């Protein structure tokens, strides 16, 4: 799988805009809590720098398909509640669309649009043959019984079955969903086909076609990317002081793997609050606590801190792995960590991005840093299609090779063009998608 990072033909000889000029042409970064507005602003900056054809820019600004569904679910008390769900396919120029499904009371169509767009760039940056998609259901999974969750999932899967499929759009877990959720979706879709279709989703349990290594993939990818990023500073994972906002499928796994690699995880947080211990936290004990109590805050192994306070700690590496819009223009000047590795999607607003860049903070963006999950989802999809499965060591090695190569390509672009890592990543990702779209042309 070759990765070309060449800029558009003749770009080096044209009087292309510098980063500040590109920002000015795209408009000064606005502080917005709307993730879709932020995703569009990031695209605008990359499009200006690439001198992207205006027509192509317009195409990439809009999702190709959007499906909104309203569906009833029987509750345990016998009542019926109508839920709202979404599935957005941003772009399929490079292959079937790919993206997770989140269950959250805060999700809306603009969040799903943004996540789908970021998935498009993410798949292109690591050069796997997918476009970007995302799904969501407006609900709080913590308030639903297991039976209610199953009924909700199966009805939502039925509603979106008109757009998903193993060669069209392949969902995966995200916030509020897990391997069991994917098993229900796979089974529901398979019932409509009359035979088992394991490749319709990824992130499934291994027993029903899931891949070894998938559960840890996003967190493991973050550790690989961190290792690459700190080398330029002469640092090593052993003894590295790390703070992680978020202790779920991404942050919790990353914390465990950092600790196993010898790093000192000094702070972690979940939705209820955080803990800090300058000597390092006992991550294994915190994971046991979370599994037992549903939160890490009941553990007594550190000082209680707020989730926003964690972001401002004096550490070597900060990993925001919770939700969008955590680092903003309001707190960017108080961030002390010299290196930020984005585990969540969209944790930094464009305005904060620029402030951090001007202060010399080295930030590895979400579309690169957290791509380990979709890389191993790609492996799972390939294995399902072939009905031939790999060992975990092989999965991890293949994922590491792709993540390291993608990091080095983005870093090379950043140095060569004297831009930050986010813009460098978008220059690669947006150009690959634009090139594929141009080659395919406009139908009819």
CATH number of 167's domain:
3.40.50.10860
Cβ atoms 433, 124 nearer than 8 A: yes
3-state secondary structure 224-247: HHHHHHHHCCCCCCCCCEEEEECC
Euclidean distance between CA atoms 151 and 174, whole angstroms: 18
Task: Identify whether 390 is part of a domain.
Answer: no
DSSP 8-state symbol, 113: H
pLDDT for the residue numbered 349: 94
pTM above 0.85, yes or no: yes
Q: How many Å apart are CA 80 and CA 103, to the nearest integer? A: 18
Q: Are residues 53 and 75 in the same domain?
A: no
Q: Which of 162, 195, 228 is the last residue of a domain?
A: 195
Which residues of 78-225 form beta strands (DSSP E)?
A: 80-91, 97-104, 131-138, 169-173
Residue ending a domain, among 369, 385, 414, is 369
Active site residue 122: no
Whether residues 28 and 92 share a domain: the answer is no
The pLDDT assigned to 4 comes to 37
Residue 130 shares a structural domain with residue 144: yes
**73 and 55 in a common domain:** no
In a domain, 210, yes or no: no
Question: Is 374 inside a domain boundary?
Answer: no
Are 44 and 71 members of one domain? no
- Does residue 25 form part of some domain? yes
Q: Same domain for 70 and 148? A: yes
> Do 283 and 257 have their domain in common?
yes
234 shares its domain with 361: yes
CB-CB contact of 301 with 275 (8 Å):
yes
Please check whether residues 47 and 91 belong to one and the same domain: no
* 430: Cβ contacts below 8 Å, ≥ 6 apart: 43, 46, 47, 50, 52, 60, 121, 124
48: in domain? yes
Structural domain that includes position 71: 63-195
Catalytic residue among 98, 122, 134, 264: 134
Q: Are residues 261 and 364 in the same domain?
A: yes
Number of domains in the chain: 3
Query: Tens of pLDDT along the chain (444 residues)?
Result: 333 334 433 333 345 555 555 554 555 566 788 999 999 999 999 999 999 999 999 999 999 999 999 999 999 999 999 999 999 999 999 999 999 999 999 999 999 999 999 999 999 999 999 999 999 999 999 999 999 999 999 999 999 999 999 999 999 999 999 999 999 999 999 999 999 999 999 999 999 999 999 999 999 999 999 999 999 889 999 999 999 999 999 999 999 999 999 999 999 999 899 999 999 999 999 999 998 988 998 888 899 999 999 999 999 999 999 999 999 999 999 999 999 999 999 999 999 999 999 999 999 999 999 999 999 999 999 999 999 999 999 999 999 999 999 999 999 999 999 999 999 999 999 999 999 999 999 998
């Amino acid at each position: 799988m070759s990765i070309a990072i060449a800029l558009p033909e003749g770009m080096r000889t044209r009087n292309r805009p510098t980063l500040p000029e590109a920002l000015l042409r795209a408009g000064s970064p606005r502080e917005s809590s709307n993730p879709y507005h932020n995703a569009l602003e990031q695209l605008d900056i990359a499009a200006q720098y690439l001198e992207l054809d205006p027509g192509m820019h317009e195409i990439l600004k809009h999702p190709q398909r959007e499906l909104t569904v309203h569906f009833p679910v029987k509750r345990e008390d016998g009542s019926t509640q109508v839920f709202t769900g979404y599935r957005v396919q941003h772009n399929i120029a490079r292959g079937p669309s790919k993206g997770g499904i989140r269950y959250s009371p805060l999700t809306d169509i603009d969040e799903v649009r943004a996540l789908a767009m970021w998935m498009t760039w993410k798949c292109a940056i690591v050069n796997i043959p997918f476009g970007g998609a995302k799904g969501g259901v407006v609900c709080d999974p913590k308030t639903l019984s297991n039976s209610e969750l199953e009924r909700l999932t199966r009805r939502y899967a039925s509603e979106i079955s008109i757009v998903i499929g193993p060669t069209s759009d392949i969902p995966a877990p995200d916030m509020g969903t897990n391997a069991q959720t994917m098993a229900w979706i796979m089974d529901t879709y398979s019932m409509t086909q009359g035979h088992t279709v394991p490749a319709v989703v990824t992130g499934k349990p291994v027993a029903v076609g899931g891949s070894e290594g998938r559960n840890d993939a996003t967190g493991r990818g973050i550790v690989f990317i961190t290792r690459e990023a700190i080398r330029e500073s002469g640092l090593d994972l052993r003894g590295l002081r790390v703070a992680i906002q978020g202790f779920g499928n991404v942050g919790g796994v990353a914390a465990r793997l950092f600790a196993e690699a010898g790093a000192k995880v000094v702070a972690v947080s979940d939705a209820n609050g955080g803990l800090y211990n300058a000597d390092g936290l006992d991550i294994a004990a915190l994971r046991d606590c979370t599994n037992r109590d549903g939160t890490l805050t009941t553990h007594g192994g550190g000082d209680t801190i707020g989730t926003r306070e964690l972001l401002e700690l004096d550490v070597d590496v900060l990993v925001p792995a919770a939700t969008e819009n955590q680092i903003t223009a309001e707190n960017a000047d108080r961030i002390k960590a010299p290196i930020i590795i984005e585990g969540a999607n969209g944790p930094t607003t464009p305005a904060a991005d620029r402030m951090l860049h001007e202060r010399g903070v080295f930030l590895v963006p979400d579309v690169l840093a957290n791509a380990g999950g979709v890389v191993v989802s790609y492996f799972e999809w390939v294995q399902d299609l072939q009905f031939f499965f790999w060992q975990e060591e092989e999965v991890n090695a293949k994922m590491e090779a792709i993540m390291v190569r993608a990091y080095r390509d983005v870093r090379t672009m950043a140095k060569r063009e004297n831009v930050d890592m986010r813009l460098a990543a978008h220059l690669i990702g947006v150009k690959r998608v634009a090139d594929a779209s141009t080659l395919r042309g406009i139908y009819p």
